[in-house]
Amino acid sequence: MTLDTFDPATTTVDVIIVGSGAAGGMAAFSLTQAGLRCLILEAGRDYDPQSEVNMMAPESAAPLRGAATPDKPFGYFDATVGGGWEVDGEPYTMREGSDFRWYRPRMLGGRTNHWGRHAPRWGPYDFKPFSRDGLGVDWPIGYDDVAPFYDRVERMIGVNGGRLELENHPDSPANCLMPPPKPRVPEMLLKATCESMGIPVRAAHTAVLTRDMPHDVAPRSACFNATPCTRGCTIGAFFQTTTSFLPIAKATGRLTVVTDAMVSKVVMAGKDRAAGVEYVDRKTGARHKVEARAVVLAAGTLETTRLLLNSGESPAGLANASGELGRNLTDSTGASFRAFVPALADRPRYNEDGIGGQHVYIPFWLYGEQKRGELDFARGYHFEIGGRFGIPPAATLPRVWGAGLKKAVRAASGATIGMTLRGEMIPNKDTFCEIDQGVKDRFGIPVLRFSFRWSQHELNQVAHGQRIAHAVFKRMNATILSPELPPEKLITAGGEIIHELGTARMGADPRSSVVDSYGQAWDVKNLFLMDGAIFASGAHKNPTLTILALALRASERLAARLKSGALA
């Protein structure tokens, strides 16, 4: 539905959902199944993967061969629409000395249209980090509370993968996962090398179908082992809400979707009760109010928190009696290592496309050493793996011209292996977001200001990762292409891994948390947060599967409460 045909004044719904990505899509799916009438307000434009994703065009059809530019930071064909590290007319600011980047798509389905699709389960340690090392806080729930929802989400969205059989890396029960694809030669070499050094390599858990998923409304096909996933997927092989949850929810007749609707604040009906939200029509600038029995914020961690900070009567924002709103911001750590492996030069060609991203990865394996105090950092990291035929990186080519250059390109194609570190960041008091009262976006909404700092834990962690990656490369007799760097230079900027979490954390105590374990705001009983804002810690594992599991758990609780009248 477009704004032209939507009349906010006469619309009556049970639940307003702000955002249509992983959390908002799951909320709409679950709540409409439960018989509730929902309205999604999406800040970005309407988006149809079937007609807008150019899956098959070669990179040579794109300007600059598809190279990254400030307009399209992940390449021309990347599915991100209308945004990126910058969104026109929607700035953010930083405190002096901070380096933070905020990635925002402006499209129906949000980041699920172009996410990385690595979907590991979090384990028991990840929900109880304080109990393990005395840092940060424990979640009010543990792995056993989330596990049944992981089971269901893996089956709902379609995840492929194999068994892990490792400490703090829970395996899925039978019938949850589709079979993983065979590894490619560089991945096999990495596995053989790592395992000879005591480092495990396992099939990755990836939200890409390796079997068809029939459905009356939104049938999805198994991956056909070609085309880059970040472009989006017209056959529905990888999970994005625009080809799964949203069409299914719409088919119930109980979902209205309004795009180009930038929500500016939560409107109150009393001190502890939300009446609805106010939003700005991005095309006309007109302001509207819409009401409902409950409000779900799933706008993305930082947009959700910004909304609360800009709502309510208090300068501290809405639902912020604890003072935790905006605090506890984390992103994953990131560092990348790459090497040229002479043993793989000029190897026999075959089709190495597979399911797009990595087929295997390195889960964190040093929990025992860490427990014994043998590591100089808390928490874990994992390596994501890259390496396949293609144009070799410039650094693998000798400074030659003519026949020798052609020969070098042929030899070096497929002879580079990359290890990309993703690790846990522990919340620290210097890393948070707040409202910058001096700067407003083009809708007149005050913007976020970020403060960001890595602690010594994160710096030591990436330094450790560098030593490991370089040791693995040396074991392969490889030439390391990534320069050896001090950790301050090695580590990515805050926000750059696009795993921002934790600015409205859940807890068991209203004095130290913003929401309960179901995302219900302690201070506003019909207001629910369902995205990464509610995470009590970041883990090193990519967060989307956990966002989906928690949103399913919260949505079912919300539906039960609305039906029982508990929120009346």
Residue 140 and residue 517 in contact, taking contact as beta carbons nearer than 8 Å:
yes
- Of residues 219, 390, 444, 486, which one binds other proteins by CB under 8 A? 390
Comparison of 149 and 450: residue with beta carbon closer to other proteins: 450
Distance CA 225, CA 340 (A): 25
Number of residues that bind other proteins (CB under 8 A): 109
16-55 residues in contact with other proteins (CB under 8 A) are 45, 51-54
Distance CA 215, CA 330 (A): 37
Comparison of 9 and 394: residue with beta carbon closer to other proteins: 394
Q: Does residue number 104 form part of the binding site for other proteins (CB under 8 A)? A: no
Binding to other proteins by CB under 8 A, coded x per residue (else -) over 485-524, reads: ----x--xx--xx---------------------------
- Which ranges constitute the DSSP H helices of 158-251? 185-196, 245-251
Q: Does residue number 225 form part of the binding site for other proteins (CB under 8 A)? A: yes
Among the residue ranges 3-11, 183-191, 371-379, 425-433, the one whose residues contact other proteins (CB under 8 A): 183-191
Minimal distance, residue 309 CB to other proteins, in Å: 26
Minimal distance, residue 479 CB to other proteins, in Å: 12
Minimal distance, residue 276 CB to other proteins, in Å: 29
Residue 308 and residue 475 in contact, taking contact as beta carbons nearer than 8 Å:
no
Residue 300 and residue 290 in contact, taking contact as beta carbons nearer than 8 Å:
no
Nearest residue to 331 (alpha-carbon basis) of 542, 56, 136: 542
Nearest residue to 290 (alpha-carbon basis) of 264, 251, 320: 264
Q: Does residue number 241 form part of the binding site for other proteins (CB under 8 A)? A: no
Q: Does residue number 81 form part of the binding site for other proteins (CB under 8 A)? A: yes
115-174 residues in contact with other proteins (CB under 8 A) are 116
Q: Does residue number 349 form part of the binding site for other proteins (CB under 8 A)? A: yes
Residue 300 and residue 465 in contact, taking contact as beta carbons nearer than 8 Å:
no
Q: Does residue number 4 form part of the binding site for other proteins (CB under 8 A)? A: no
Among the residue ranges 137-145, 147-155, 217-225, 429-437, the one whose residues contact other proteins (CB under 8 A): 217-225
Residue 110 gets which letter from DSSP?
A: G
The residue type of 536 is: A
Among the residue ranges 163-171, 191-199, 447-455, 511-519, the one whose residues contact other proteins (CB under 8 A): 191-199
Q: Does residue number 339 form part of the binding site for other proteins (CB under 8 A)? A: no
What b/e sequence results for 262-285 when a residue is b if at least 16 CB atoms lie within 10 Å of its CB, and e otherwise? Answer: bbbbbebeeeeebbbbbbbbbeee
How is residue 381 written in tokens?
A: 């990291």
Answer left, alpha or beta for residue 29, where phi above 0 means left and psi between -120 and 50 means alpha: alpha
Comparison of 369 and 488: residue with beta carbon closer to other proteins: 488
How is residue 196 written in tokens?
A: 């000879």
Comparison of 236 and 334: residue with beta carbon closer to other proteins: 334
Q: Does residue number 343 form part of the binding site for other proteins (CB under 8 A)? A: yes
Q: Which residues pair with 118 in a beta bridge?
A: 206
Comparison of 303 and 384: residue with beta carbon closer to other proteins: 384
- Of residues 2, 12, 35, 57, which one binds other proteins by CB under 8 A? 57
Q: Does residue number 98 form part of the binding site for other proteins (CB under 8 A)? A: no
Comparison of 11 and 93: residue with beta carbon closer to other proteins: 93
Residue 67 and residue 76 in contact, taking contact as beta carbons nearer than 8 Å:
yes
Minimal distance, residue 94 CB to other proteins, in Å: 15
Q: Does residue number 471 form part of the binding site for other proteins (CB under 8 A)? A: no
**CA quadruple 540, 543, 545, 551: dihedral sign:** positive
Comparison of 358 and 520: residue with beta carbon closer to other proteins: 358
Among the residue ranges 57-65, 122-130, 371-379, 532-540, the one whose residues contact other proteins (CB under 8 A): 57-65
Among the residue ranges 132-140, 145-153, 314-322, 379-387, the one whose residues contact other proteins (CB under 8 A): 379-387
> How far are the Cα atoms of 141, 240, 532, 563 from residue 548, in angstroms, in the given order?
15, 12, 10, 22
Distance CA 550, CA 477 (A): 44
Q: What is the CA radius of gyration of the chain?
A: 23
**How is the chain split among helix, strand and coil, in percent rounded to 5?**
30, 20, 55
